[in-house]
Chains A and B, each alone.
Chain A
Amino acid sequence: MSGSELPKLARVAHAGHCNRCLSALPSSHIQIDASRLAIGFYCFGTLDLLGSIYEKTKEIEREGWREWLWHQQTNRPYGTDPEEYSEYDTPHLIMTYTAILSLAILRDDFEQLDRNGIVRFLQACQREDGSFTSFPNGGESDLRQVYCAFAISSMLDDWSGVDVDRAVSFIQQCSSHEGGYGQQPTGEALGGTTYCALASLYLAPSVSDLHAPNPHVTTDERRRTIRWLLQNQASSGGFSGRTNKDADACYCFWCGASLHILGVGDLVDRTAFLSYLASCQFKFGGIGKAPEDRPDPYHTYLSLAALALFPLEDADPSWKLPRLNALWNTTEDTADWIRQHVPLYTVKAQSPVRK
């Protein structure tokens, strides 16, 4: 099947799905209540990729969302004493990452960003072994949190909150003999954590170029990781997240983006890839993990992000998506906004951005 024979991308329907999710979710979704910021990000990210932020939402809504996001910024001192957190929600590393991305998508000026507080927060979350917990003094620690810490530091252009050497050492210990990276040392390789590992290693301050060999990835690790990732593409075109598991749309991003970061995106069978994701579209909008599955913002966003990384020349114009920054996982336009507004000092302004 050639690209031109594929069904269209149902852009309007997918934007509708995420817009609805931004308003409300049913009781069956109670369990993601504590991750609202993440869900928000998947919805905003979808609208950003579809170029619908301004078309499909009103300024008053966007203002409301920005306000809601800023309301989640805690401003207690970050120390090791849990009693200092009397806000109902302790700050959470993954939510902090998604909040910054969401605010950038909504084109906030970041005047309210507590940069020093975030740096102290990162310091409080890093453990002896180099990994990061979701919040100081608790929560699980694995490569997801490391990635968020690296992404945040990179967006702030301030690495003083992270002991990079220790973190890199932890990442390298998560490397699996299969290729790829597990959640923790001794874990089997997973698509999601492989992305987190590689994105982190390429975001690290000593690494400037996506195309040059990375000092933190040995030739052997690179080789077997490429091999493992490529073997995860099923004949349906979708990627699975682990050896001997079924294809799932979200792994099209986690594995696809990993291959892109390693510079071998050309080895992905793009037509099959697109065909799989096309078949995961739900008829009333949204994209699910597999054909016939219920959609959700997470799979919708990640499918579109994956498609943005692997454009197909002869596909219908409905499939045309903006360029994606694979390391931060956002559009290049939003990435530009981040570069101009998130760090304390930017190239444009010679004095600090804050007045």
Chain B
Amino acid sequence: MHGVKRVQYSQAALEAKKQRDHDKLKAYLALSDDVIARKKSHDMSNEAFELTTRLLRMNPEFYTVWNYRRDMFIESLFPQRSPSEVNELLSDDLSLTFELLKQHPKVYGIWNHRRWCLEHIPDGPSPDDVNGYRNSTWNKELFVVEKMLDADARNFHAWNYRRYILATMPFPPPPKSELAYTTRKIEANFSNFSAWHQRSKVLTTLWETGELDRVKSIEEEFELVRNAMYTDPDDQSVWIYHAWLIGNGNYAARLQFEITSIQELLDEQPDSKWCMESLVRYKRLLIEKHAENLGDKKALVDSCLELLAKLRDIDPPRRRRYDEIAEGIRSGNEMQ
């Protein structure tokens, strides 16, 4: 339903369209009835299999038919076939689903069927090389998902699938190469929040395994995000990533440094909502977490209130929110 455009038609064209619609529906319903009847009678023939292919091309969201197709694989197509033949069948279905995904990139049933295919690849091609089929097919998956993300860099199905591939494939590429992938995506478009998000996940892994030194890495990330901020201060993605880097704000020196840096940007871009919002956020963190070390708490409080007053003006949808925050600061309550 999302993404159906309106089109205008002339009278004659409208009649023709009506007829086409009618014929298409008739064909679909007849095919659907046929396939369902066969499923009911447990028809596991090749003919039935071909019919499910036709039906799924018309309606890839028909999850019942994907189930039926998988049943046929397990019950009739796989048994009595060599691993090489099974692998071939699964490759065909991977091709089919790739073709369908290009037209229907957000249909759960298609992505789901792909996973099922991958998980059923047989051992082979030989006893010395039991993972050959798997390696070759799984390695291609990254290529497939990259194509999908080239077409729509925000497709969350594709990003979730990408994470699934990296977590499950027999010989995944090193996390650093995934980090490089996110760098490419971010540099192509700073607004691509999905890429920033993936980056946060990959970095967390690299820090946990010790592959990257956390302190040094965070320094570099702050540089990267500062660059993005200055290039496009209106981009929400950048600020959310920055907030992730700040984390719980336990490191006072970093908070102070970033506040100064953002203030400099605000001086150049006096109407930047995100600068103001972030300054309030980080100053509140200072007040909340580092009160005992603060020289002039009152100055910080006043500064927040001043920023919130400006935010009310330039960001009207969130007026009530800013009022509520100001109230909280005035009464000295914990951040809501």
What is A's interface to B at a CB cutoff of 8 Å? 26-28, 30-35, 82, 86-90, 92, 134-135, 138-140, 176-178, 182-184, 186-188, 190, 220, 223, 226, 230-231, 233-235, 237, 242-245, 248, 266-269, 272, 289, 292-294, 296, 298-299
Contact = CB atoms under 8 A, between A and B. Distances in A.
B163 interface: yes
B330 interface: no
Interface stretch (B76-84, B220-228, B315-323): B315-323
Contacts of A293: 4, 6
Interface string B301-336: 000000000000000111111001000000000011
22 contacts: A27-B25, A33-B59, A34-B59, A88-B39, A90-B67, A138-B112, A186-B160, A226-B336, A230-B318, A230-B321, A234-B317, A235-B316, A242-B193, A243-B193, A244-B191, A244-B193, A244-B236, A244-B237, A267-B318, A267-B321, A269-B316, A272-B317
Contacts of A186: 160, 163, 201
Contacts of B58: 30
Interface string B59-91: 111111001001100000000000000000000
Interface in B26-85: 28, 32, 36-37, 39-40, 42, 58-64, 67, 70-71
Contacts, number: 139
A231 B59 CA distance: 36
A336 to B, nearest CB: 31
B154 interface: yes
Contact of A27 (B24, B39, B335): B24
Contact of B319 (A33, A134, A184, A269): A269
Nearest to A193: B156
Q: Chain B's interface: helix, strand, loop or mixed, by majority? A: helix
Contacts of B40: 86-88
Contacts of A32: 1, 61
A134 to B, nearest CB: 7
Contact of B60 (A31, A220, A233, A299): A31
B235 A269 contact: no
Contacts of B335: 223
B251 interface: no
A253 to B, nearest CB: 14
A242 B25 CA distance: 35
B42 A27 contact: no
A324 to B, nearest CB: 21
A296 B70 CA distance: 32
A234 to B, nearest CB: 7
B297 interface: no
Contact of A298 (B1, B194, B201, B240): B1
Nearest to A234: B317
Given A32-B61, A237-B317, A188 B28 contact: no
Given A82-B67, A139-B108, 18 more contacts: A27-B20, A27-B22, A31-B60, A33-B61, A82-B71, A86-B42, A138-B112, A177-B200, A178-B240, A188-B197, A190-B156, A230-B321, A235-B317, A242-B154, A267-B324, A269-B319, A294-B5, A299-B1
A266 B67 contact: no
B333 to A, nearest CB: 12
Contacts of B6: 292-294
Contact of A31 (B59, B112, B236, B318): B59
- Size class of B's contact patch? 35 or more
Q: Which 9 A-B pairs have the closest CB atoms?
A: A243-B193, A27-B24, A269-B317, A88-B36, A188-B197, A296-B1, A27-B25, A27-B21, A31-B61
B181 interface: no
B133 interface: no
Contact of B193 (A82, A183, A188, A267): A188
A315 to B, nearest CB: 18
B235 A244 contact: yes
Interface in B156-211: 156, 159-160, 163, 191-194, 197, 200-201
Contact of B4 (A89, A245, A294): A294
Contacts of A89: 64
Given A33-B59, A269-B320, A138 B67 contact: yes
- Which of B62, B197, B235 has the most chain A CB atoms inside 10 A of its CB? B197
Contact of B28 (A27, A138, A248): A27
B143 interface: no
Contacts of B320: 266-269
A81 to B, nearest CB: 12
Contacts of A245: 154
Contacts of A267: 318, 320-321, 324
A86 B40 CA distance: 6
A36 to B, nearest CB: 11
A187 B1 contact: no
Contacts of B193: 188, 242-244
Contacts of A242: 154, 156, 193
Given A86-B42, A269-B317, A34 B324 contact: no
Nearest to B237: A244
A88 B64 contact: yes
A184 B159 CA distance: 11
Nearest to B65: A34
Contacts of B159: 187-188
B292 to A, nearest CB: 22
Contacts of A223: 335-336
A35 B61 contact: yes
A30 B103 CA distance: 14
A34 B64 contact: yes
Contacts of B160: 183-184, 186-187
